């Protein structure tokens, strides 16, 4: 993990980068990587995630907060950029107020408030890719955030919470090796009771090799596997991606 301060600064920067990406764009454009959504739907989804998680932290919620109860959680007809950036700031301020290590409700094994900084940051990073693909604009991610994004996503998929419902990606010992060429390696073993993230750097039954940003986008199903290097059993990677969609 990175520091809470790094996550906080990155969330604010990501919200600004997202709104810069969509500036002047038609909000009725269809998002190719989320074809059921328009760009307007994407903005609303991300903005509501900021306000929802911010409210969970600010109120020190101990149980799920229904989305319809989120204050300011509905995108206004005008000023969507300001609304989205304000939501990011609200989450950052809420975590600073209660402290990143204090507990709140999460759906994860990790109940610290910093969980929401990290999770919503990476949700924003991936959805900025969705926005960039929609409006055909450049997309880059700082390497430390891309590496942390891969680590966070694989950690979620192999967490206790995920393993309880991970039958589709259980296995008999098959391994997937993910290698970020600009820093970071991860090994997933598909056990009968679910996948396990191992701190081992060994050859897998399939290996995926790419810069961290591309690896992140492959794992989230935003770019095809043809854009990265794949060695070994490609069907194992396809099955993993098909059953870990976001």
C-alpha 240, offset from chain centre: 17
How confident is the model over 144-163, as pLDDT tens digits?
999 999 999 999 999 877 76
CB atoms under 10 Å from CB of 222, counted, come to 21
Structure tokens at 164: 């309880």
Q: Where are the alpha helices (DSSP H) in 158-233?
A: 160-163, 212-219
**Model-level pTM greater than 0.85?**
yes
pLDDT digit string (tens) for 37-65?
999 999 999 999 999 999 999 999 999 99
pLDDT at 168: 78
Q: How far apart are CA 37 and CA 244, in angstroms?
A: 19
**Where in the chain is CATH 3.30.1050.10?**
144-242
CATH 1.20.120 location in the chain: 4-139
| CATH assignment, 144-242 | 3.30.1050.10
pLDDT confidence of residue 67: 93
Per-residue model confidence (pLDDT) at position 148: 98
> What is the pLDDT at residue 48?
97
The pLDDT of residue 164 is 57
The pLDDT score that the predictor gives to residue 201 is 79
Mean pLDDT of 164-186: 87
Instruction: List, for residues 190-228, the tens digit of each pLDDT value.
Output: 999 889 999 777 889 999 999 999 999 999 999 999 999
Rounded CA separation 121/37 (Å): 20
Question: Percentage of the chain with pLDDT > 70?
Answer: 98
pLDDT in tens, 62-78: 999 999 999 999 999 99
Can you give the pLDDT at residue 165?
A: 62
Top-level class of domain 4-139: mainly alpha
């Amino acid at each position: 993990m990175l520091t809470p301060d790094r996550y906080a600064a990155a969330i604010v920067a990501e919200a600004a980068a997202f709104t810069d990406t969509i500036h002047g764009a038609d909000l009725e454009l269809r998002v190719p990587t989320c074809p059921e959504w328009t760009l307007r739907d994407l903005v609303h989804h991300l903005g509501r995630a900021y306000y929802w998680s911010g409210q969970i932290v600010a109120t020190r919620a101990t149980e799920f907060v229904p989305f319809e109860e989120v204050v300011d959680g509905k995108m206004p007809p005008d000023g969507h950029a300001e609304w989205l950036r304000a939501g990011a700031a609200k989450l950052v301020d809420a975590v600073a107020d209660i402290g990143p290590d204090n507990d709140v409700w999460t759906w994860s094994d990790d109940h610290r408030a910093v969980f929401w900084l990290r999770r919503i940051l990476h949700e924003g990073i991936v959805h900025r890719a969705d926005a960039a693909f929609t409006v055909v604009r450049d997309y880059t991610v700082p390497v430390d955030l891309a590496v942390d994004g891969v680590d966070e996503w694989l950690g979620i998929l192999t967490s206790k919470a995920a393993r309880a419902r991970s039958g589709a990606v259980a296995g008999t010992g098959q391994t997937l090796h993910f290698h970020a060429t600009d820093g970071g390696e991860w090994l997933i073993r598909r056990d009968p009771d679910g996948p396990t993230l191992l701190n081992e750097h060994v050859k897998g039954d399939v290996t995926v090799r790419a810069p961290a940003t591309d690896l992140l986008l492959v794992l989230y199903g935003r770019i095809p596997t043809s854009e990265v290097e794949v060695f070994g059993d490609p069907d194992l990677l396809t099955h993993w991606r098909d059953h870990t969609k976001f």
